[in-house]
Amino acid sequence: MVPFPALEQPLNPFPRYEAMRDSEPVFQDQETGVWHAFRYDDVQRVLSEHATFSSRFGGDGPSGQLFAASLVNTDPPRHRQLRSLVSQAFTPRSVEALAPRISELTNELLDPVIAAGSTDLIDQLAYPLPVIVIAELMGIPAADRDRFKQWSDVIVSQTRPGADDSDHAAAHREMAEYFMAMIEQRRRQPGNDLISALLGAEIDGQKLSVMELLGFCSLLLVAGNETTTNLIGNAVLCFTEAPGTAERLVAEPDLLPHAIEEVLRYRSPVQSMYRISTVETTLRGRSLPAGSPIVAWIGSANRDGEQFPHPEVFDVERSPNRHLAFGQGIHFCLGAPLARLEAKIALQAVLSRLPGLAVEPGATLERMESTIVYGVKRLPVTWQAA
Ligand code: HEM
């Protein structure tokens, strides 16, 4: 048995996943009692069989309280009702309408650094872009984005060993107070934004509760930000690693959406998701009692050789590419069309405006402090400035 220290967060967790897929694909950590699934088929089952593997696990921790009432932590029938309220805002068609604004923001963020020939691409583009987009959708001041980053960094680092719980409690409290004030303001003065739309929405004649509204806002801010930031950052890592990739994507722009799907598979921004079993069940011959917490390792499923030939090769033309980076089933990522669009626009601009793009030689890349979200803290890059 290969022990799996669940709280470690190496930049290269993939050899360990491989060892687990081979030796103990469904594994119970004896210390914590938590189960872990590493193979594609099992991860797919855990994510999509919602009657057996429930998403209602989150009531205990501080993030649990905040997200408990949000759709990511509910099961049907409530899940379907909540999801139908917001899904209109995130259809590919409504999202496509945001394209001109996303391009404009991307160029505004890149303009000041173009002449410099080097920058931290996370700080300059990959972080601010998705935050500004979601803040504008929600109708909250994008100028507060430094505070959002502070809160969401603390929240996604929840599983960090030695994490300070008082930090988490404070971040959750501050974020809740912030959104309460925004919700109250929209109640008095509705606008053409998501918070106002949610305030007006009814399910079977009933308005959403304040906790549900708060859960939605927090979920959108946290789910929609670090993930898209990391998709953009991870794409730059992938594109600069294999010589010629960036040049090829400039020459063949139609390839970019495929390349982005391959980034989602190869360096999945969300590496793992939790569920809790509702009944006794069997997974790859192992018997899990009802009430077993289980981690579905998306990052490992996406490197499973039974599903993906030569999984360790980053192949911009991979087809089929049925990665699980956005989950599967009823909880399939609501923001997937938006994340794909933002990544496409941002990466197109980066590739065309920063010729000769490379990770700064000698830079030490450090993984963000989270076992769930995968990406680097800083991404120093260089290019040939005109
Ligand atoms: C590359 C970027 C992203 C990745 C990799 C990602 C990944 C995921 C995954 C794996 C899930 C499934 C959770 C589960 O099964 O428990 C999910 C759900 C969700 N995502 Fe994303 N996400 C991304 C971007 C976004 C964006 C931009 C938004 C919103 C603006 C968003 C909003 C949501 C919401 C609301 C859910 C819950 C859906 C439900 O429970 O029905 N995500 N995401």
CB of residue 270 inside a 6 A radius of ligand 1 = yes
pLDDT band with cut points at 50, 70 and 90 for residue 4:
very low
CB of residue 63 inside a 6 A radius of ligand 1 = no
27: left (phi over 0), alpha (psi -120 to 50) or beta: beta
Task: Using most ligand atoms within 8 A of CB, pick from 52, 229, 333, 344 the residue to mutate for ligand 1.
Answer: 333
CB of residue 335 inside a 6 A radius of ligand 1 = yes
pLDDT band with cut points at 50, 70 and 90 for residue 158:
low
40 CA to middle of ligand 1, Å?
19
Residue nearest atom 7 of ligand 1, based on CA coordinates: 326
- Tell which atom from ligand 1 comes closest to the C-alpha of 343: 1
Strand, helix or coil for residue 18: helix
Q: pLDDT digits over 48-100, tens only?
A: 999 999 998 754 444 455 666 678 889 999 899 889 888 888 888 889 999 99
- Tell which atom from ligand 1 comes closest to the C-alpha of 342: 27
CA distance 331 to 49: 10
- The residue whose two tokens read 């981690």 is 295
Query: Which range among 23-37, 39-53, 187-201 shows the weakest confidence by mean pLDDT?
Result: 187-201
- Tell which atom from ligand 1 comes closest to the C-alpha of 216: 35
Q: pLDDT digits over 165-200, tens only?
A: 777 788 888 989 999 999 999 999 998 888 998 898
Q: Residue 295: what residue type?
A: V
User: What domains does the chain contain, in order, with CATH numbers?
Assistant: 14-382 (1.10.630.10)
CA distance 127 to 115: 20
Would you say residue 11 has pLDDT above 70?
A: yes
Q: For residue 27, count other CB atoms closer than 10 A to its CB.
A: 21
336 CA to middle of ligand 1, Å?
7
CA distance 289 to 70: 26
pLDDT at 67: 67
Q: Which two tokens stand for residue 250?
A: 């400039």
153 CA to middle of ligand 1, Å?
17
CA distance 133 to 224: 10
- Tell which atom from ligand 1 comes closest to the C-alpha of 72: 40
Tell me which long-range contacts 174-177 makes (C-beta under 8 A, separation of at least 24): 174/147, 175/66, 175/151, 175/218, 175/221, 176/66, 176/214, 176/218
pLDDT at 8: 53
CB of residue 238 inside a 6 A radius of ligand 1 = no
Alpha helices per DSSP H over the chain: 14-23, 40-48, 62-67, 78-87, 92-96, 99-110, 121, 128-138, 145-156, 165-188, 194-200, 210-241, 245-251, 256-266, 298-301, 336-353
Angle between helix 165-188 and 210-241 (nearest 10): 120
Q: Which residue has the higher pLDDT, 156 or 176?
A: 176
Residue nearest atom 37 of ligand 1, based on CA coordinates: 72
**pTM higher than the cut 0.75:** yes
Would you say residue 334 has pLDDT above 90?
A: yes
294 CA to middle of ligand 1, Å?
19
CB of residue 340 inside a 6 A radius of ligand 1 = no
Q: pLDDT digits over 245-274, tens only?
A: 999 999 999 999 999 999 999 999 999 999
Q: Do 338 and 92 contact (CB within 8 A), yes or no?
A: no
Would you say residue 1 has pLDDT above 70?
A: no
CA distance 30 to 155: 26
Instruction: Give the strand pairing for 206-207 and 202-203.
Output: antiparallel
What is the arithmetic mean of pLDDT over 355-366?
A: 95
